[in-house]
Amino acid sequence: MTEWSFDVQTMTEPLLKITSVTKRFGGFTALDGVNLAVAQGERFGLIGPNGSGKTTLINCISGALRNEGGSIQFSGEEVSKLPAYQRTRRGIARSFQIPRPFTSMTVLENLLVPLEFVAHRNSLLRPDTRAEAMEILQSISLADKAGTPSNQLSQVELRKMELARAMAARPRLLISDEAMAGLSGNEIDEVLGILFKLNETGITIIMIEHIMQAVMRFSQRVVCLDAGKIICEGTPTTIVANADVQRAYLGA
């Protein structure tokens, strides 16, 4: 089933198209000519051992870093020279590996930032952003924490708030950077459920994850990075069976 949908999706123009993207830090090449295409509505998994360049790649996509060579196209537009906030406004949202809440604000206020700066930045009328934020919080059952200062949240609540804040930017592409690290089994299921639900509303999702079970369950297609290069691409089942991936992970 998944293999089918993948074939169909690549027929149309991809939402995100990365062509030979390179990034160096001093003498160290973190990304070495990476090519990728993510289709509209896809659930895409990005895996790889520590230091393989996953986070560098999504930093380049979201604009936290500038890539040196290659191009990044988002729905047909070159975005690799744009500052991060412009990319967010065009529909690329992300969560952070280590959650980065706005600590002086409550959970609700955290969501108001993207609502005011992205979704409603041009509205002349004052839309009820608070009600909208509440709605998002309800959809991920975090509404009871709306008034809690964000520095008093538990790990799973922080993860959920990060996702909620990304959702509030009304993205077309959501990059989830290890949103499940450090969570228990039940909590992982909960976060996975949220991501599935988001995907059903048409949001394309790139998931970076160390927890293999989660990626494999979630993704329609998986790419494995190693030392800044894509070593393998395919459905979860083919990836798991791939010899290169096993070598990269086990170091054999």
Partner 1 sequence: MDLLLDAIVLGLLVGCFYAAVSVGLSVAFGLLDVPHIAHPAFLVLGAYGTYMLNRMGWDPILAGVALMPAFMLLGIAVYRFYYETFERRGSDAGLRGLAFFFGVVFIVEVGLVMVFGVDQRLVEAPYIGKSLAVGDMRLPLRLLVAFAMALVLTIGLSLYLSKTFTGRAIKAVAQDETALRLMGANPVRIKQWAFGIATAVTGLAGALLIIVGPVEPTIDRVYIGRTFCVVVLAGLGSMSGTLVAGIILGISESIVLTLLGASWAPAVSFGLLLVMLGIRPQGLFGR
Partner 2 sequence: MKTNGYGFWIGSAVVLALACIAAATIKNEYYFFAAYIVVQFVVLATAWNILGGYAGYVNFGTSAFFGVGAYIAVMLIKWMNLPLGLQIVAAACVGGALGFAVGLLTLRLRGIFFSIATVAVTIILETAVINWRFVGGATGVQILRPPVMEPFDSYTKMLFVCAVILAIIAVAIARYIETSWIGRGLRAIRDNEEAAECTGVPTLKLKLAACAISGALMSAAGAPLAMYQSFVEPASAFNLTYSVSALAMPIIGGTSHWIGPVIGALLLGTVQQVVTVTISSELNVLVVGVLLVVFVVGAPQGIVGLFVKLREKIKGKNI
Judge whether 46 and 206 are in contact, CB under 8 Å.
yes
Which string of x and - marks every residue 165-204 that binds partner 2 (by CB under 8 A)? xx-xx-----------------------------------
| Residue 247 within binding range of partner 2, rule CB under 8 A | no
Smallest gap from Cβ 90 to partner 2, in A, equals: 10
Regarding 229 and contact with partner 2 (CB under 8 A), the answer is: no
Q: Where are the beta strands (DSSP E) in the chain?
A: 16-25, 28-38, 43-47, 69-74, 77-78, 92-94, 173-177, 204-208, 221-226, 229-234
Partner touching 26 among partner 1, partner 2, none, CB below 5 to 8 Å by kind: partner 1
Using the minimum distance from each CB to partner 2, give the nearer residue, 92 or 180: 92
Q: Are 168 and 111 in contact (CB under 8 A)?
A: yes
Annotate each residue in 14-33 with x if it binds partner 1 (CB under 8 A) or - if it does not, as one string.
-----------xx-------
Q: Is 152 in the site for partner 1 (CB under 8 A)?
A: no
Q: Under the criterion CB under 8 A, does residue 114 sit at the interface with partner 2?
A: yes
Q: Is 56 in the site for partner 2 (CB under 8 A)?
A: no
User: In 151-252, where does DSSP find H-type helix?
Assistant: 155-168, 185-200, 212-218, 236-241, 243-250
Closest CA to 57 of 199, 208, 162: 208
Q: Answer yes or no whether residue 103 interacts with partner 2 by CB under 8 A.
A: yes
Does 237 help bind partner 1 (rule: CB under 8 A)?
A: no
Give the type of residue at 138: Q
The candidate with the shortest Cα–Cα distance to 64, out of 149, 175, 229, 219, is 175
Are residues 44 and 204 in contact, defined by beta-carbon separation less than 8 angstroms?
Answer: yes
* Contact between residue 107 and residue 146 where contact means Cβ atoms under 8 Å apart: yes
Q: Which is nearer to partner 2, 92 or 223 (CB)?
A: 92
Is 91 in contact with 171 (CB distance < 8 Å)?
yes
Interaction pattern, residues 95-134, with partner 1; x per rule: CB under 8 A: --------xx------------------------------
Are 61 and 177 a contacting pair, CB within 8 Å?
Answer: no
Min CB(65)–partner 2 separation in Å? 10
Residue ranges in contact with partner 2 by CB under 8 A = 62-64, 83-86, 88-89, 93-94, 96, 100-105, 109, 112-114, 116-118, 121, 165-166, 168-169
